[in-house]
Structure 1
Amino acid sequence: MTDSNNPTAAALIRWANTSFEHLDSKVESLADLSDGLVLSRMLEEIDPEFAVQNLDTNTSSSKWVVKKQNLEAVYKKLQRYVRTHCVDDTVNNDALEAVIDFNAIAEHEDAGETTKFLKVFLVAAINGNNAPKFLQVITEGKLPDDVCMVIKEIISPPSNEEESRPETKGDALSLEAIRAENTALQKKNGDLNTRLEHLQFSYDELLEYGRTKDERIDELLKLQNEKPDDHIKYLRAQLLERDNLIATQEGQIEDDRIKIERQTRELRERPDPEQVQKLEDRAKELQIQNEDLFQKSKILDNFKKKLEKQNNVAQENTELRQQIDILNDNQRDFDKVHEENETLQATITQYRKQAASYEKQVVEMGSQKKLLQEEIRQRDARIQNLLEGKAHDEEFIQNLHEQMRTSSPKLASPPSPSAKVSHLTLEEELAQSSDSTPNHALEISRLQAENQLLKSQLGGTTATNLRIELDELDVVRKRLESNYRDLQEENILAQYQLSALMSRVEAEKLVTAETLQNKVGVMKMLTIDFYRDETIAVTRKLYIETLFELNQVKAKLTEVQTELSSRDRELLQAKADLSAIDQDELDALEDLKATNEIITSSLQNDLLVLQNKFKTLMTDHEQQKSHLVDALIAKDALSKEAAELKANGGTGTTTVASQKTAEVSTRFKVSGNSAQNSGPVTQESEDAELARELAALGKAPAGLHDTFASPPIAAITTARLESIPSSRASSISSATSPLASSSGLFISPPPPATQFEKQEKIILALQIRLKAAEEGGADAQKAAKDAIIKNLSRENALISSAWYDLTGRLQSNHLVLQRRQDAPKSWLNKQRQMVNTIPRR
């Protein structure tokens, strides 16, 4: 129902715009009053003491709860003003005590409920302490006559029809009179309900009032200069007024109950049994309602008695309201942040799409650039070949001209006019001009041009293979350079040690030492004073340990990078799954294809890294093979020489000793390189190897005992014994203790046959160890390759399963790409078609 169809609403709006001059804006319709702000300004103009403060101005269409709270606050203040200033018998209590549905006003902008609210404002303004101001607006003719008539009907109290109607118990009432009385009783019942609600509001106000008075009492107790008796008397007077009001309402309830019983008895005497039964039922219902009201009045008395014990209720309510306000503010902030997050998420998604398209464009432009560069290079090469061919042809033509000038000088002079001209055919001219001798220069130039053309054509196709081979050769070259550098360092260290030893040898023994050096060769030897050499050995040891730790850290870094790349792929796949949930099918498939391409490229990069590692391991394996072959060849040569020495009866012992020393030194180098390549060796195997080598070297010839003051074995064992713990060093020294003596650290040598047999055993054991190391390295490489292949196949299986899982979920959402007659029916063919089909734009 609109405002134009309701004259009462239009009259009230006209009265509000005319009477209240300090409104922020004119009221156009009843919907402008649904937020409670205009009504608050009207109440403030009626009496500023009862103005409502701190109203929430956030009155959007979705926040109708805030509107309801504002309306309730204004209604409470208005009711307090009515009870304070509008206590008179001439007041229209029906208009003041009307039940107002605030939910209908706040949520649906109900015109009827808003009209009731304006009627309460009208009655309160006309009968309040500022009544002359509002009566002057009506009496001076500022309003039209129809508006004045409507206002008069609203403010005039209803006539008491029950008192004017004579009560005649003996007369028979008609059915219409009974229905009228029933309607009056229902109205009275509604009035009683309204009064009960008013009592409830009064109770709430009493709670708030009691809290304020308690605070005031506390302040008065603190301020002892003032008199507290007047304030207490005032509070007692107000409490007495409340008690009188409650007693009056209870008496009215009792009067109504007695009246209802009297009317019920009258209804029982009527002849219509059905109507009487209905009226009796209605009377019982009313009696029950009255009893409920009586019980509520008793409960109200109890509430009044418990008022002193519930002083904290109002404070708790205030705190709860503050918490509600804070939660509402937090909810608004959360809504704003959520909207901003959604906007940012959409922006990030758009940026990702644009970045992917830009990357694709960059890749395409890079590929096009490479193709254009390749075409330009081929064109330049073709132009160069053509220029070379042109130069060669010009040179060849010049040579032909010179040959023609030199071979047939007669042709240079022009023919005489008297000569007879013979007309020859083209075949005869070619036969005459053909030379019987072959032209080798022309053939060579043609072959050179063809060779150049073939080189230019094959250069582009084999460039990639040549680059790969060049990278492999660079790796091999770097490894050979590192090995050469290690050998050079060892050679320089040996030369330095030998020169230090020679500088400390006496003059008469220098010739003997040089002779031994020439016989034996370059040896690592140390004297008692080896402090300078000890520093170099410790530095070398620290370098090897640091290099080993660096290799371990690199291996761990490689593992972490591999795991990180796998985690990145999983994260990318999870993001693709998450984005595919909220997207259309075509966009989801495009994102999935792009994600799979990125994952495939990542796996290809990992595969290339693993291939490079495999090539490096193969290079190391080839180097170890070459070392093993060299060791076997040296072993065969040493076996032949040992056999010759056995046949000659032990001659050339010094040469065998020198060769044995060189072999042991070479074996130490090979073992050191293999230890750097293959990793750490167990302590037991290293101790056993060192003990066997010490035992083998301890059987040196007796001719060397008197030459040196310190044994040659110290040059090889000192650096390694320094890096071994004391327990292991003691066990090794105990294993080699039979070799030491007090005079020269050597015992008399055993027979040559026993010595060579032991040497053969040592060489055989070393050969078995080398073969086992080679087989173990191959097995380890094979196991590593199998593990890599297994991991790659598992990752591929996971990717494929995730792909089919995602496509299955998309298919379960009833999203179909195309519907054709030749569409596949099986699940596998559908998956293949979804993967391979290009979406139509």
Structure 2
Amino acid sequence: MATNGTLPHGTEAALVVWVNSFPLTNHVNSLSEMNDGQALWEMLREIHAEAFTGELPSKKQSAYARQQNLQHVYRKIASHLDEHDATFTIFTDDELRDMAVDESSTSIAKFLQLVLQVVITPPNEAIFQKLRILPDPTPQVILRLWQETMDQAEDEEVDENSDMGSGRRSSNSGSNLSSARVIDRELRLEQHLAELKSQLDRCEAEVKDLKEAKEQTDDAYNRLSESYDAIRKENTEIDKQLKKFTATHNEREQRSVKELETKISQQEEVIGRQETQINESRSKEAEMQRKIKKLDAADDRLQNLQDDFDVQKVELEHQTRKANAGEKYKQKVQASQNLEKERDSLRKELNEARSRLEEAGDLRRGNVKLQQENREISQTLSRSERDNTELRETKQAYLGEINRLHHDSKSLRDALAQSQDRITDLEERFGGPERHSSVDHTLDSELAEALNHEQQMQVASTVLLWTRVLMSSRKIRITELEKLVRQLKSDASDRDTKLAMLQGQLDSAREDSADQYKQGFEVRQEMSVLQSSLTEVRQGHSIEGTETFKRMREQIKAQQKQCAHLEEKLSAAQKVLEAAESDRELMDKPKLQVIEEVRMQNSLAMTQLQSEHDALRNRHNRLHDMFVDLTEERNAAWHDSHEAVMAKAESDMKADADSQTLQESTDLLRQAGTLGSIDESKGIKIYASKIEESRERLAKAQKHIEKQDALVKDLEARLEQTNASAQNNVEDANKLPATKVSHRVFITSFSIFSPLLVGGISHFTDHSTPSQNVPTSAERSYTQNLEREIKLIASAYHDLAGRLQMNNVILQRRTEAPKSWLGRQRKAMEGVGGLVR
């Protein structure tokens, strides 16, 4: 180690490596960082854990705290070495204070020699093993330092032994000591005592200052510890609240998910029970329909027997002809009205087409006028171009002439200058009047020619100026004509576009008419298919065997498959998109924020699931209510129809009773005719009483039939309302968003309600509109029943009227309609024919 107060870099680096080989809380980069004593204390605890127990007195970073830590470490090392009777280097308090304040690596290295002595006394094999593993040259430096500490310890022992020997020799030979040495020694002791007192005073002053600083630091430490404790309490409370919140939130989420799962399972169970109930109700309804069909068949057989019995009295075929003529007249009137409507629509279209054609003709005439004007303008343009070319040619000729004149004038001026020069030369040489006059004459002529050339140049310039003015005016006129031509061309193009637009509108109108005709043809085909299916249903065939039902079922299956496929694709794409978006958003974010966002997404997903579940539940409740209403109305209609059938049976029984009374009256008349005039008055009284009873019965039957007609009309109105509401509900269900569960519920509800609606329509409504041209089998049976009914009524009425008029009984007029009898018979015929008018 260097003695000049500095430490070699290799030695310091080796010591740093050796210090960092110990398990320190904070590794050091230089020895000056070890002046707080923390690293030294951790090294000592690693070397001898039993000897060095406890903690350092202060964990602050002030100079006083570091000094206290170093003093504590030094006391522990000194006590340990004293226990093992080892010699060591003594550090005073001043040296320790300087070490804590100056951060000197030399003093720290000197202090590390004490640590090396602790490693040696007693020797620690584990530290030696760790030292062998360290890289070179650390082990060599540490061994050299150990050697230096061992040498210092041996030197101190030798000095102590020599001092002890000299003391013995001085005690044995006390006379050899001189008084001067004793005085010198006392003086040195006094001087040393004075120095110690001064150091003590200085230390006391420093202790006071340090105590004041300690009180201040203690106060600050207490305040900081209180604030730290408060912050720790708040932090613990916040952690507890966060844990409670997360626990409660997770419990709520799990509870809500379980509740939703239970609700969904309950809804599925309810749907299954309702489906079973619906199937049972459908089976019961089928049984009731079979019973009704059996009753209708029995009623048909009875009515056919009665008709076969009464057909022999048919005499009024002309009334049937009138009825047929009236129906034909109605059909013709309806057909004429339809033709009038079509004729009016065609007239409107024809007028529109004529107006469009007139507009097109006007546009064509305007186009012709514009073309003529364009031709005239083109002719004027050609004339102006010719004039322009002529002017350009004249201008070029004038320019050539002007250039020529300029050239001549230049040549004349040059000749004049040469002649003047020559004249001056001649005058200088010879000088003479004769020659001078001739020269003047030639000069005057040349000057005159020059003036003539200048006049010609002026004339040419004026001509050129006028030509330029004419050319500018021509150019202005040409530009105006070009603008007019452009305007006329734009007007012609606008009219052409209008004509093309009108032509396109006409073509679109023709296409629309063709599309309407195609649509009408398709509608007629569909109406024919529906009419055929309706006739099949009326004839007793099953609804599921019709073409319309098959088409609807195929369309529903195809739409169901397509919708399910699209829903699966959409759900998969939405899941992938949501996962990608969530992953993209969660990148480069802290964990707490990610957790909060995940919780928010879970809460949003739960709310969305809850809203979808509520929507499905409301939709299911609405469909259930609609089904309950339809079943109630269906049951009420069936009950009313059953009552109507029973009333019809009662009316038929009453009619049989009336016929029996009439038969009895006819028998009485015959008996009266055979008995003679003696019993005539008595028979007339009996006959009159019978007639009065029959009239009362007929009036009661008429009232009852009127009530039944009112009930039937009410039933028909109610069924029309139910059909309209069911159709609206089905349309609303089609408009709703189709999820997997909702689509399944809609399909099941449609499969449940469609046979009910079709059955109700086929049994109780009057919605069919037969075609105008081809009568169906139901219409033929209906007309046959009417003919039979009219024949029966007329034959019975005339027979009875003739017999009663013979006996002077007042009856109704022939023109008045027998309402009660007619209504009852028509009701019976409707039941027999199975036709709903």
TM-score per shorter chain, which class? under 0.3
Q: With CA pairs under 8 Å and 6+ residues apart, which has the higher RCO, 1 or 2?
A: 2
Structure 1 length-normalised TM = 0.21
* Larger proportion of helix: 2
